[in-house]
Amino acid sequence: MVRDGLQHLRNITPEVEQWLFKIGIENPAEFARLGGKKAYLQIIEVGHEPSDELRCRLLGAEQDLDWQIIAKRDSSRASSRFADVDEP
């Protein structure tokens, strides 16, 4: 199969592309079919350390958003969960 270059997707660095190749994703269509969340879980299964940046890069690539937007959105959600918690 010809590799169409996953680096054309937003947030996909050469390192991320190599991890995608390791799980059998070689082109944007295959990535779209699998999705960012499943790709992340499979990459973790084959040996990548769990990483918020990797997760945000893959979710951002799926949604065509900068990975930092995904990270900020996730951070805001986490903070709002604890906003109503009283400190002891």
> How much is the pLDDT for 54?
97
- Residue 69: inside a domain: yes
85 lies in a domain? no
Residue 61 pLDDT: 97
Spatial distance between the Cα atoms of 5 and 55, rounded to a whole number of angstroms: 20
Q: Is residue 52 situated within a structural domain?
A: yes
Structural domain harbouring 49 = 6-79
Rg (CA), the chain: 15
**What's the rounded Cα separation, in Å, for the pair 77 and 53?**
16
Is 15 within the bounds of a domain? yes
| Whole-number pLDDT of residue 1 | 42
- In the chain, which stretches have pLDDT less than 70? 1-4, 78-88
* Domain count for the chain: 1
Residue 68 token pair: 């930092």
- Predicted pLDDT at 41: 97
Residue type, 6: L
Model pTM score: 0.82
